[in-house]
Amino acid sequence: MTEISSLGGTRAEPVTISAAAPAPHGMWSSRMAFILAATGSAVGLGNVWKFPYITGENGGGAFVLVYLACIAIIGLPIMMAEVMMGRRGRQSPINSMRRLAAEAGRSRRWAAVGWFGITAAFLILSFYSVIGGWAVAYVFQAGQGAFGGASAEAISGLFSGLLADPWTLLAWHGAFMVLTILVVARGVSGGLEKATSFMMPALFVILLILVGYAMTTGRFGDGFSFLFSPDFSKLSVGGVLTALGHAFFTLSLGMGVMMAYGSYVPPGISVAKTAVAVAAMDTAVALLAGLAIFPIVFANGLEASVGPGLVFKTLPLAFGQMPFGTVFGTLFFVLLVFAAWTSSISLLEPLVEWLEEHRGINRIAAAVGGGFAAWLLGVASVLSFNLWADVAPLGMFEAFAGKTIFDLLDYLTANIMLPLGGLAVALFAGWTMTGAATRDELRMGEAGYRVWRFLIRYVSPVAVATVFIYNLL
Ligand code: TRP
């Protein structure tokens, strides 16, 4: 017995939704456009700024290995699931979840996953834009030749000077948010598709040039083995959680961003192959960034574990010494801004999609309102680097001693909310949706499909839950 009658399962009238009808919000123009937009979302500050510094803080090789494993067996299947759910749901994460749950005959409460995701994206956007602002500031520093021949101390001083000044940070944070709002307000259409198609390859080329420079420092081998020879004695349980959380962060998973982007994917495209391409490019960019940065760190006697300032304190040194350093330095920070920008728009998009569809607010107002609210919240992160540097709201707990508001937001979203969101997505795709529905959307060979289903039903949930529980003990 099938129960299609109540779902309007009679042959679709031209007016009802059919596979060929445009989604309510418009669509990517091609498979390539989607790959570039999704890669634009995935490749961002997470790859070039965050991956190197958390690798430095967690001792290198062993951390990288765990991170790669998390990408392959947890991140990739969940990315396939999110994109697939978005495409089948065709709406904002909240309404897509509601629709898919209804299709499977389950509780509409699953929409909570969408809510949770939109909230997490909003929180991330608030501090992501602050860091994006640093990158914008550094475009101007580099362009003025501020790094030319400067010593490591001078370069570090430049960075601490920037962080110490709340008004300047606030202004750059605002400038970055304006950029984000501008794109989102225009819709995720031709302009953005074109921008990403140029920016992503350019970023890749610049990274290769920097890796080439790193090879001339004489410490390339040390940088390489720091990244790739695992020493498990340096890896803590907390480090494993950080690796897992970062796998979600770097692939833009766990909070409906890929679901929102998936909702604009035209029918007939293999979700599985697309996700593999996006994850592969994202991983390549992170590893290249590590290969560019660590040799420079070691060659200049810097500490790999300095934290969030790592790229801002190391790469300018290289630019200050290499031929045409002003040009390459400017180019690099421009590309860092673009990488961050194509990610920040994806952080604002799910909220805007929902405001549009649910509240009937027009896109421009939704983008401006959402972006402004995120900017306001970002003020707390700005102050975390100066006036509130000693404010540790959860300092009474040992685990959070000395963590600023910025640190806490980062921890809460990346290490807690994203894995939980990912867990929910895995459970939903693996256990709630029917095999027929997922097979139909993913469009992969039968063997591949079986592997995916096994990973999503058992491996991902168990791995996420285990890491989580371990971390609580
Ligand atoms: N993936 C981006 C980066 O690595 C950040 C990002 C964009 C993100 N959208 C997201 C992270 C959604 C988590 C969820 O910089």
Q: What is the pLDDT of residues 249-302, one digit of tens each?
A: 999 998 888 998 898 888 878 888 899 999 999 999 999 999 999 999 898 888
**Residue 1 structure tokens:** 């017995």
Residue 5 CA to ligand 1 centre (angstroms): 40
Residue 166 CA to ligand 1 centre (angstroms): 25
**CA of 250, closest atom in ligand 1:** 4
Residue 25's pLDDT is what?
Answer: 63
Residue 174 CA to ligand 1 centre (angstroms): 19
The pTM for the full model equals 0.88
Residue 388 CA to ligand 1 centre (angstroms): 26
Pocket test for ligand 1, best of 48, 287, 347, 420 (most atoms within 8 A of CB): 347
Q: What is the Cα–Cα distance from 38 to 217, expressed in whole angstroms?
A: 34
Residue 12's pLDDT is what?
Answer: 30
**CA of 45, closest atom in ligand 1:** 15
Q: Is the dihedral of CA 160, 379, 407, 46 positive or negative?
A: negative
Instruction: Report the amino acid identity of residue 405.
Output: I
Residue 45's pLDDT is what?
Answer: 92
Q: What is the Cα–Cα distance from 351 to 345, expressed in whole angstroms?
A: 11
Residue 125 CA to ligand 1 centre (angstroms): 9
| Residues 132 and 342 sit within 8 Å (Cβ to Cβ) | no
**CA of 339, closest atom in ligand 1:** 15
Q: Which segments of the chain have a pLDDT < 50? A: 1-22
- Phi-psi bin for 92: left (phi > 0), alpha (psi -120 to 50), beta? beta
Residue nearest to atom 7 of ligand 1 (CA): 343
Rounded to a whole number, what is the distance in angstroms from the first to the last CA of the chain? 48
**Residue 250 structure tokens:** 């770097």
Pocket test for ligand 1, best of 199, 252, 338 (most atoms within 8 A of CB): 252
Q: Is the dihedral of CA 470, 471, 472, 473 positive or negative?
A: positive
Residue 204's pLDDT is what?
Answer: 87
Q: What is the Cα–Cα distance from 63 to 65, expressed in whole angstroms?
A: 5
**CA of 253, closest atom in ligand 1:** 14
Residue 166's pLDDT is what?
Answer: 97
- 139-144 long-range contacts (CB < 8 A, ≥24 apart) are 139/330, 139/333, 139/334, 139/337, 141/316, 141/333, 142/316, 142/319, 142/326, 142/329, 142/330, 142/332, 142/333, 143/326, 143/330
Q: What residue ranges line ligand 1, CB within 6 angstroms?
A: 41-42, 44-47, 121, 124, 249-250, 252, 255, 257, 343, 346-347, 418
| Residues 360 and 198 sit within 8 Å (Cβ to Cβ) | no
